[in-house]
Amino acid sequence: MSSKQLILVTGINGFLGAHIVDQLVKAGYRVRGTARSAKVAAVQRNNAIYGNDVEVVSADDLAFGDFTDALEGVSGVIHAAAPLVGRDTPENALTASIEGAVNILRQTEKAGIKHFVLVSSILTVRLLGDSAPSWTEDDWVSTSREQALASNDPTFVYVSEKALAEQAVWEFAEKHPNIDVTTLNPPFFIGPFAPNYRFTDALIREMSTNGLLYQLLNPAGTFFAPLLLLIDVRDVARATVHALTTPPAEKRKRLLFVPHSVSWKQAAELIAEARPQLKERLSKAAQEEGKYPHPAPPTPVDNSKAIGVLKLGQLNDWKTTILAGVDSLLKVEADFAKEGKTFH
Whole-number pLDDT of residue 75: 98
Report yes or no on 335 lying in a domain. no
The full 3-state SS of 59-72, as one line of letters, equals CCCCCCCCCCCCCC
Angle between helices 264-274 and 318-337 (to 10 degrees): 70
Q: What is the DSSP letter of 135?
A: B
How many Å is the maximal CA-CA distance in the chain?
61
What average pLDDT does the structure give for the chain?
94
- In 254-288, which positions are buried (b, 16+ CB within 10 angstroms) versus exposed (e)? bbbbbbbbbbbbbbbebbbeebeeeeeebbebbbe
Report yes or no on 290 lying in a domain. no
State how far the Cα of 196 lies from the Cα of 209, in Å rounded to an integer.
17
Alpha carbon 310 to chain centroid distance?
17
Report yes or no on 223 lying in a domain. no
- Tell me the H-state helices in 7-113: 15-26, 40-46, 90-110
Report yes or no on 275 lying in a domain. no
The bridge status of strand 6-10 relative to strand 180-185 is unpaired
State the CB neighbour count (10 A cutoff) for residue 175. 8
Report yes or no on 218 lying in a domain. no
Average pLDDT (49-71) is 96
Question: Domain holding 61: CATH number?
Answer: 3.40.50.720
Report yes or no on 120 lying in a domain. yes
Average pLDDT (179-195) is 97
Confidence at 264, pLDDT banded by 50, 70, 90: very high
Helix/strand number for the chain, H first, E second: 11, 10
Confidence at 89, pLDDT banded by 50, 70, 90: confident
Domain that holds residue 70: 6-201+230-259+300-314
Whole-number pLDDT of residue 195: 97
State how far the Cα of 10 lies from the Cα of 25, in Å rounded to an integer.
15
Report yes or no on 253 lying in a domain. yes
Q: How many domains does the chain have?
A: 1
Least Cα distance to 235 among 192, 271, 286, 284 occurs for 192
Average pLDDT (254-276) is 97
Whole-number pLDDT of residue 1: 54
State how far the Cα of 320 lies from the Cα of 326, in Å rounded to an integer.
10
pLDDT tens digits, one per residue of 129-166? 787 889 999 999 999 999 999 988 888 999 999 999 99
State how far the Cα of 233 lies from the Cα of 89, in Å rounded to an integer.
28
